[in-house]
């Protein structure tokens, strides 16, 4: 559902490579009746005959699994209906990520219309919730900024490596992270050759980061003139003045030793290296002069930050190999 958005189109691209998926319906209300190949020529070889459908065609298709890629506020009644019919759901939107309906209302501006489902939704960040995902039938796929932040800073908070009251996050994101809806900020004349901070102290991914890390976060996102990609630099004071960069890297190596989609890099990650893959690069440094940790990560906001992560979580939930149908290499150059 929502197959005409950036995340929805990425889901179609990845689903075509998954041996256990058969796409039976791809909804796109404003483009219902239009061929996928016409709307998104990049997918023409994968879907030469598939036509975008309206939502009312979903029921007659009797799907086993629905990926929902709709803007916040739109998926609540739809997901409630799907769950009541016994259909497994992976929601890529924000509607089921926060457990407290009052927190959702405060940050998203509307009352939650399916609060009884919040406790049933499992947060789909596999590297941190693998056990809870086993058998899950409603998965709340994380946002791109919280994913990159939690994978970079999470191990250090979890292991009391840092002062939990001092977490600061700066992030760069490509324009696709803002979705397809037009805005002044996304006009070419404003975006090209520019870099811009936005939603200062008020970005809606902030409570998701805080819930996942369990600490207060000062978050500043920046829009940069690339189509896709995300680069995060997160900072916190180290708990012990004797801590070194080697200690930080050893912790990352230990935590992510068995995670197939995490690359622990001794060089600072770049925005470009993970593009097209479901991989997240992480690294860290400790500045002995100031006593601060720098935790870094990069990922493709449409793959590991959205569609790829959703499929990864479903693989784990359904007992399939975690890497099935997902790319582990980026596109280079």
Whole-angstrom distance, CA of residue 6 vs CA of residue 8: 5
Residue 231 CA to residue 305 CA, distance in Å, equals 11
H helix or E strand, kind and range, residue 36: helix 36-39
Whether 144 is catalytic is yes
Cis peptide before 59 (omega within 30 of 0): no
Burial category of 60 from C-beta neighbours within 10 Å (exposed 0-12, middle 13-18, buried 19 and up) = exposed
Total length of the chain: 333
What whole-number distance in Å separates Cα of residue 309 and Cα of residue 279? 9
Residue 315 half-sphere exposure, CB side, CA atoms within 13 Å?
21
Where would I find the beta strands (DSSP E) of the chain? Answer: 65-68, 88-91, 122-123, 138-140, 167-173, 196-197, 217-223, 230-237, 262-264, 280-287, 292-299
DSSP readout, 180-210?
Answer: SS--GGGSHHHHTT--EE-STTT-TTHHHHH
**Active-site choice (14, 144, 238, 286):** 144
Three-state DSSP class for residue 293: strand
Question: CA 215, CA 206: separation in Å to the nearest integer?
Answer: 11
Contact 304, 14 (CB under 8 A): no
Q: Which two tokens stand for residue 99?
A: 């457990």
The two three-digit tokens of residue 326, written as one number: 């997902």
Catalytic residues: 144
């Amino acid at each position: 559902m929502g197959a005409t958005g950036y995340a929805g189109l990425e889901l179609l691209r990845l689903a075509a490579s998954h041996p256990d998926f058969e796409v039976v319906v791809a909804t796109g209300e404003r483009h219902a009746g239009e061929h996928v190949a016409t709307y998104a020529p990049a997918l023409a070889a994968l879907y030469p005959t598939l036509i975008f459908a309206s939502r009312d065609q979903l029921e007659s298709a009797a799907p086993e699994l629905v990926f929902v890629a709709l803007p916040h506020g739109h998926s609540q009644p739809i997901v409630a209906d799907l769950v009541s019919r016994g259909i497994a759901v992976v929601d890529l939107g924000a509607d089921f990520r926060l457990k407290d309906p009052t927190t959702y209302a405060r940050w998203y501006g509307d009352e939650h219309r399916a609060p009884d489902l919040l406790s049933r939704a499992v947060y789909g960040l596999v590297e941190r919730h693998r056990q809870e995902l086993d058998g899950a039938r409603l998965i709340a796929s994380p946002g791109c900024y919280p994913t990159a932040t939690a994978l970079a800073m999470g191990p250090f908070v979890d292991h009391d490596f840092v002062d939990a009251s001092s977490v600061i996050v700066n992030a760069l994101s490509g324009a696709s992270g803002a979705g397809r809806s037009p805005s002044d900020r996304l006009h070419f004349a404003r975006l090209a050759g520019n870099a811009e901070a936005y939603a200062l102290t008020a970005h809606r991914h902030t409570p998701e980061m805080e819930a996942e890390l369990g600490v207060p976060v000062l978050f500043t996102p920046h829009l940069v003139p690339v189509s896709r990609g995300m680069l995060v630099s997160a900072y916190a004071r180290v708990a012990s003045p004797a801590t070194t960069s080697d200690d930080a890297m050893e912790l990352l190596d230990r935590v992510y030793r068995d995670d197939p989609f995490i690359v622990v890099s001794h060089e600072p990650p770049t925005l470009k290296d993970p593009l097209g893959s479901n991989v997240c690069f992480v690294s860290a440094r400790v500045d002995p002069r100031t006593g601060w940790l720098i935790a870094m990560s990069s990922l493709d906001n449409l793959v590991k930050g959205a569609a790829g992560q959703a499929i990864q979580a479903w693989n784990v939930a359904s007992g399939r190999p975690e890497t099935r149908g997902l790319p582990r290499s980026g596109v280079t150059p």
